[in-house]
Every structure is written in structure tokens, then in C-alpha cells.
Amino acid sequence: MSTNRPAHAKKAEIVAEIVSKIQSAQGVAIAEYKHLTVEQMSNLRRQALKQGIEVKVYKDSLVRRAAEELNLTELNEYLTQQNVFVFSNDDAIGAAKLVANFAKENEALKLKAGVYEGAAMDTAAIMEVATLPSKEDLYSMFASSLLYPLRQVMAVINAVADTKQD
């Protein structure tokens, strides 16, 4: 009888995949999807795909092993029930924001925890992260804050030019 156990090797591969995904992701969200319909889950996946976000379902025990390898054992208490794992590689808050926005319309999805900037976050903290403006929104706010003083200067210059013409 062989001592090699293919099931153990496969599980080790999956754990390595999870470790890799968590390490390479800017942000990770963990959500319970226990009562979502197949259609709702498909909608979540479609929305995620449009934003370049990956949605995966893993066994909690395998994610727990990956979390231990990454010293993120704080996540273990959230690895119960049926969880979906959302990985955002481009935007650190993208995963949490996607889940939080989707959960507003689909109450069966519950944002439980996540990883932001390499640190495990509990439910309250990840919900707070989800309310932050996106990178694009921040750029827009910054650009607006730069343009407003320029508009004021242009208005003053135009007013001075108008008075000199009169």
C-alpha cells in the first residue's frame, strides 16, 4: 500500500493557492452567502468580473490553514458557515466595497471580515473600510479641490480685466 495520499497533496495545493491569493491581493473580503440563490451568486460574480475582482468559494478549513501560514489567525473565528472569498488585486477597498454594496440589495450576503493592507480586520473594521471612497473618487475630489482655487483666480482676473476695459 502506498503512503502517498493524493487528497492531502491536492489540499496542500489549494492551501498554497489561497496563501498566494491573499498575499498578492490588495484587499480580501470574507462574506457569508448561506441563503443566496444561484442567480444572486451569479450576479455577484458578474459584478466582480466587471471590476477585476475575483470571487472564490473555498472550504473554511483550508482557508484556516492558509491564514495560519500567513499569521492571520484572527480570521479563524469568521471561518464558519458558508463563506465566499473576494480578492481585489487593483483596489485595496474594492472587495469590501463590492460585498457591502451587493449586500444592500441582497440581505442574504453578510460581510464578515477581511484583509486590508496585510492585516486581518473584524466585521466592524471591514465595514468601515467598505465606506471609504474609491481611489478614483479620491482622485476626483483632489482634482476638484485643485480646480476650485484656479476658478476663483480666473474669476478675479476676468473681473479686473472687465473693469480695466470700462
Beta pairing class for 53-56 and 83-88: antiparallel
Question: In angstroms, what is the C-alpha Rg of the chain?
Answer: 23
- Domain covering 6-132, topology: Alpha-Beta Plaits (3.30.70)
Per-residue confidence of the chain (166 residues) as pLDDT tens digits? 445 677 788 999 999 999 999 999 999 999 999 889 999 999 999 999 999 999 999 999 999 999 999 999 999 999 988 999 999 998 888 999 999 999 999 989 999 999 988 889 988 888 888 887 777 777 777 777 777 777 788 888 888 888 877 6
Query: Model confidence over 85-94: pLDDT tens digits?
Result: 999 998 888 9
**Segments making up each domain of the chain, as ranges:** 6-132, 133-166
Q: Tell me how far apart the alpha carbons of residues 32 and 112 are, in angstroms, rounded to a whole number.
A: 7
Q: 119 φ, ψ to 5°?
A: -115, 140
pTM of the full structure: 0.77
